[in-house]
Chains A and B, each alone.
Chain A
Amino acid sequence: MIAELGHFILVLALVVALAQAFVPLAFLRHETGNATALSFATRASYLQVLLIGASFAALTYAFVRSDFSLMVVFANSHAAKPMIYKIAGVWGNHEGSMLLWTLILAAYGAAFALTSKRLPARFSSFVMVTQGLLGSAFLSFLLFTSNPFARLLPAPFAGQGLTPILQDPALAAHPPLLYAGYVGFSMSFAFAIAALATAGEPHEGRDNNWARWMRPWILTAWIFLTLGIALGSYWAYYELGWGGFWFWDPVENASLMPWLAGTALLHSALVAETRDTLKRWTLLLAIVTFALSLSGTFLVRSGVLTSVHAFANDPERGVYILAILVGFTAGALALYAYRLPKLAPDGAFQPVSREGLLLANNIFLATATVTVFVGTIYPLVLDGLGMGKISVGAPYFNAVFAPLAVPFAILLPLGPLLTWRQGHLAPLRVYVAMGAAAALLLTVSLVLLRGPHSIMVLALFAASFWLVLGAGLDLYRKLFPHRAKLWRFWSLPSTAFSAPLAHGGLGVLMLGILAATQWREEVVVAASPGQEIDIASITLRYDGLREIEGPNYRAEQARLSYLTGAHAGSYLFPERRFYEAERSQTTEAAITTDLTGHLYAVVGETANDKRVLRIWYHPYVAFIWLGALLMAAGGGFGLRTRLRRGA
């Protein structure tokens, strides 16, 4: 009954979304209708989030109660599953995750309606109309191809369970974060549409105001996407069994593309806002970023790519999402081409200036985005044309990204140090020389400590050190005027922290990747109880194996004792779990997490009465996620600045 109600409410939500998309358009044809259009669209936005929220609650209820008469619950849940995974199971499948997607879309729409009171009515109305169109598209996709409330009668007694590797706290939070990022870029998309639709019309103020209004929404989406990708990477690191953190898997690439484009957008919108230039590029980027978010969804949901993520592959759904993707992208680009001449021309530009370096940043990020896109799509296209099957994997992406990262990281710290308009390098000469010398010194000391590396690796190390040092210098310069009241941490301006944290975070992340990939140690042994194992100047002893019972699995648990080092006397307990309901197994690595390195132990199969143990030492690997957190924190400070100033 509750399920039928949820289904019915979803139909109502579609009606409201359609009304939100088309009714205000009728009023917007005349200047006098702006206020009416806005008040209609605002109410529709609120109503939409309430309806979809109620529908989502109904589905959650079915999962919590293990109502196996619902198809999705039967296929993705099990009565013997811990409560958190019953709830996470709501979005651990295609239908539920698309419902979550539309819920987040509606939530963004309502948040905009709530906070946009100071924006011109006409502009806001166009934003909400675009959100209404998107809502209609995704709601009809749900109802016509992916109904989460489809019944299965007669109801089975037990569910098929959730894939065990997905039964994990990090993975419970991964999809909502990622979606909050993807869908967040629908806001900058809607702003771009509204900016194009109202281009050339008499405005309150300048015609680049949209860039200022857009920025907090780009930041919000970017923070969520950063956290979502980082969490997914951390999950892969500890769950997939050997400590890899990024596989250049097509599905990872699908999330990286909007992130790269979104990062470019974040910076170009800053130029558009401050210098009234790069406006055309920023609008194009806003459209492309959201198109990449949509194509991420298309790639994952259509089954074009085979991957752990691609549950419920269905060509019909793929075609529908492809139609949404093509429809919105082509429509937006047509509007772009048609309205572009109405936009006031871009302002002046100097190569040595902050905007000059932000332009360089955009060129590199665009190149990176295109590289990931081509690398992901090319094998599919080649195969589709019958020109052979090839693979594009990590070695390709590493080979292209490494030489791009070096100049990118070298130019990056100069941006915040230069002023807008006409920057001068001369006063910065001392800083630059000091920073470069320190980065080189650190790199040379690495060679002395760790032995020779390839030129490319050393260049990347030097560039990463330079990034961190540059961020430190940037922070120093911004806090210097406030040196008398540094202790009143909370009253310091947020702007002082945003760029240094985000840029320094990137440097920390790069250092983590370099250290973890270059200095990784690995021991693979077949051990009998009592055997000692040496790795990374630590001695471990394998004590033996025992069987344990989990809430919905059985496990073999090995025990390893630290004999030496700072952890002497403590244990590692790697497990192999067997999930009865899902008939599959997982390995649970035991990880000692120090900032300087992780000891990572996995228990394998039996070999001649001995037990295969695989033990890795991943030096400084935590820097990867620490760096991502710093970047997100930088975004957070940027957002705080915006909210304090008022949108």
Chain B
Amino acid sequence: MIGRLLSLAFLLAGLWVLPAQALDPGEALSNPALETRARALSQELRCLVCQNQSIDDSDAPLARDLRQMVRTRLSAGDSDAQIRAAVVERYGEFALFRPRLASHTAPLWAMPIIILLLGGFFGFRLMRQKTSTPPQ
């Protein structure tokens, strides 16, 4: 009872905070392959009323609803991409923890590669340059 009241208080405060817990009993799908996909997908979807938690980690009602939606659609034969698209359509891109590759997210995905290449370039140049000068 107290737990319920507190949950309500947190909801009213606008954010679902700790403690975090995952699935409820009976939520998991009986088909293990589908359930594995459901878990993987749930970990990529953000619980929108939580602090940086995936719907897989949260026991907020919204997260539960989304987990059920993911499982219903998986059972109906939807692909992962279709489910992601459906979530984005309803909640926006904010709901994806792994941003899609698009023009506005390109720098995000390109940056590690750019830094690695730059580092390699400067490192290589450093060695080429220095081999020609006599060691001090």
Q: Is A526 an interface residue (CB 8 A)?
A: yes
Most buried by A among B24, B46, B120: B24
Most buried by A among B20, B93, B95, B116: B116
Q: How far is the CB of A37 from chain B (nearest CB, A)?
A: 32
In whole angstroms, what is the CA distance A415 to B24 when docked?
49
- CB of B52 within 8 A of CB of A307, answer yes
Contact of B99 among A242, A249, A363, A391 (CB under 8 A): A391
Q: Is B33 an interface residue (CB 8 A)?
A: no
- CB of B51 within 8 A of CB of A392, answer no
Q: Is A451 an interface residue (CB 8 A)?
A: no
Per-residue CB contact flags for chain B residues 111-122 toward chain A (1 = under 8 Å, else 0) read 110011001100
Given A359-B126, A394-B97, A602-B21, are A378 and B108 also a contact pair (CB < 8 Å)? Answer: yes
Task: List residues of chain B with CB within 8 A of the CB of A389.
Answer: 92-94
Task: List residues of chain B with CB within 8 A of the CB of A405.
Answer: none
In whole angstroms, what is the CA distance A412 to B133 when docked?
28
Task: List residues of chain B with CB within 8 A of the CB of A388.
Answer: 92-93, 104
Contact of A390 among B2, B24, B105, B123 (CB under 8 A): B105
Task: List residues of chain A with CB within 8 A of the CB of B19.
Answer: 165, 240-241, 585-587
Task: List residues of chain B with CB within 8 A of the CB of A319.
Answer: none
Per-residue CB contact flags for chain B residues 67-107 toward chain A (1 = under 8 Å, else 0) read 00000000000000000000000001111111100001101
Task: List residues of chain A with CB within 8 A of the CB of B123.
Answer: 359-360, 363
Per-residue CB contact flags for chain A residues 237-251 toward chain B (1 = under 8 Å, else 0) read 001111010010110
Interface residues of A in 92-134 (CB under 8 A from B): none
- CB of A578 within 8 A of CB of B112, answer no
Q: Is A438 an interface residue (CB 8 A)?
A: no
Q: Is A427 an interface residue (CB 8 A)?
A: no
Q: How far is the CB of A207 from chain B (nearest CB, A)?
A: 12
Task: List residues of chain A with CB within 8 A of the CB of B18.
Answer: 165, 239-241, 308, 586
In whole angstroms, what is the CA distance A400 to B53 when docked?
20
Per-residue CB contact flags for chain A residues 385-397 toward chain B (1 = under 8 Å, else 0) read 0011111111110
Which of under 10, 10 to 19, 20 to 34, or 35 or more describes the interface residues of A?
35 or more
Contact of B115 among A346, A370, A393 (CB under 8 A): A370
Q: Is B32 an interface residue (CB 8 A)?
A: no
Most buried by A among B15, B25, B28, B119: B25
- CB of B136 within 8 A of CB of A348, answer yes
Per-residue CB contact flags for chain A residues 250-265 toward chain B (1 = under 8 Å, else 0) read 1000000000000000
- CB of B3 within 8 A of CB of A306, answer no
- CB of B51 within 8 A of CB of A308, answer yes
Contact of A524 among B9, B17, B24, B96 (CB under 8 A): B24
- CB of B46 within 8 A of CB of A370, answer no
Q: Is A356 an interface residue (CB 8 A)?
A: yes
Identify the closest chain B residue to A616 (Cβ). Answer: B22
Q: Is B131 an interface residue (CB 8 A)?
A: yes
Per-residue CB contact flags for chain A residues 348-386 toward chain B (1 = under 8 Å, else 0) read 111100001001101110110011001100100010000
Q: Which segment of A54-62, A182-190, A604-612 sits at the interface?
A: A604-612
Q: Is B12 an interface residue (CB 8 A)?
A: no
Task: List residues of chain B with CB within 8 A of the CB of A387.
Answer: 104
- CB of B20 within 8 A of CB of A348, answer no
- CB of B43 within 8 A of CB of A241, answer no
Given A276-B136, A524-B23, A526-B25, are A350 and B112 also a contact pair (CB < 8 Å)? Answer: no
- CB of A524 within 8 A of CB of B28, answer yes
Identify the closest chain A residue to B130 (Cβ). Answer: A349
- CB of B20 within 8 A of CB of A240, answer yes
In whole angstroms, what is the CA distance A578 to B96 when docked?
33
Task: List residues of chain B with CB within 8 A of the CB of A404.
Answer: 112, 116
Q: How far is the CB of A275 from chain B (nearest CB, A)?
A: 10
- CB of A241 within 8 A of CB of B17, answer no
Known A388-B104, A526-B25; 4 more pairs at CB < 8 Å: A356-B127, A395-B98, A404-B112, A605-B4
- What are 24 A-B residue pairs whose CB atoms fall within 8 Å in the complex? A165-B18, A165-B19, A241-B18, A241-B21, A307-B51, A346-B126, A349-B126, A349-B131, A359-B126, A363-B116, A367-B119, A371-B111, A371-B115, A388-B104, A390-B93, A390-B96, A391-B96, A391-B97, A421-B135, A524-B25, A578-B2, A585-B6, A607-B25, A614-B21
